[in-house]
Amino acid sequence: MTKNPTSPDGTPASRFAFGTMQFGGRADEVQSAEMYAACRGAGINHFDTAWVYTGGRAEQILGRLIRAERDSLLIATKAGYQGGAGAANLRAQLDDSRRRLGLDMVDVFYLHRFDPDTDLRETMECFAALKDEGLIRYAALSNFAAWQVMKAQMAGLACGTGVDILQPMYSLVKRQAEVEILPMCADQGIAAVPYSPLGGGLLTGKYATGGSGRITEDDGYRTRYGPAFMHEAARRLSALAAARGTDPATLAVAWAAAHPAAPVPILSARNARQLQPSLAALDFKMDPELYCTIEALSPRPAPATDRLEEQK
């Protein structure tokens, strides 16, 4: 397990990552290349994709972009969103991903979501074998509850492989990870690499002014970010950003990164212009007072125990 993953040549992973879900979809190849260049210019060397993204086009585009500097980059992909967490499916999708990316080895290999129908011992044994064969460097999980991660940890004991990296959802309007996931990562030495720090774009403030995006275009996102308190938090964050002369996206990303567990937010966008406020969070100074002010804009999730008298 590691809290500090590195690229193949030993370069430490950047403080933020970039997610390529839009590559080959909402972002064409030129826009994708511009975002990649903007990330590299800002010092980001950690890039995240998945077998399922845009029918494989995201991996193909990323593969072309990374070719000249691959060894200094941390490249992550995910499998098992479709077809389950069995070894045969994970291997088949990893082979597809490596071919699309033009890589012999992928640095970070995620199981994309929990599969209740597959014994986690099979999954963890598969991770261990893939490491031994030099096909992956870090074993990772995405969209897992804390108990599911710890079940994977126990399942991995026999084969000597634990969970290196976890990818949960985390933002100012999706704070469930604060209850058990982020503390568990800190305790277990697991790097937390959360996605959607902008809450599907809600925390950019664009929806309050009639803008469009995934929340207006996708029923799943509309449901995920439908509660009124989330939209109120977004409006208040925009007002706070305006008062401080910055962008709400900058505040949202900087706040997510400032959690004591030191998560590594995954940035994403449709184009380089849209990406810039998130990249600005790399240099934004989040002092404790501002962190607490932003934290108060949304409800803190309930603790994991009912013994509230024992909570500090």
**pLDDT tens track for 117-129:** 999 999 999 999 9
Cβ neighbours of residue 142 under 8 Å, at least 6 residues apart? 78, 110, 111, 112, 113, 166, 167, 168
* pLDDT tens for each residue of 161-192: 999 999 999 999 999 999 999 999 999 999 99
Lowest mean pLDDT among 30-39, 146-155, 203-212, 241-250: 203-212
Tell me the mean pLDDT in the region 274-295.
98
The better pLDDT of the pair 266, 207 is held by 266
Beta strands in 235-291 (DSSP E): 266-267
Mean per-residue pLDDT of the chain:
96
Q: What are phi and psi of 237, to 5 degrees?
A: -65, -40
Is the pLDDT score of 249 beyond 70? yes
Residue with tokens 């600005």: 280
Token pair in block for residue 143: 């969209």
pTM score of the predicted model? 0.96
How many other C-beta atoms can be found within 10 angstroms of the C-beta atom of residue 248? Answer: 26
The rounded Cα 181 to chain-centroid distance in angstroms is 13
Tell me the mean pLDDT in the region 140-154.
98
Distance of alpha carbon 269 from alpha carbon 258, whole angstroms: 21
What are the structural domains of the chain? 17-167 (3.20.20.100)
- pLDDT the model gives residue 312: 65
* pLDDT tens for each residue of 82-106: 999 999 999 999 999 999 999 999 9
Distance of alpha carbon 25 from alpha carbon 35, whole angstroms: 14
Is the pLDDT score of 1 beyond 80? no
Local structure of residue 200 (DSSP, 8 states): T
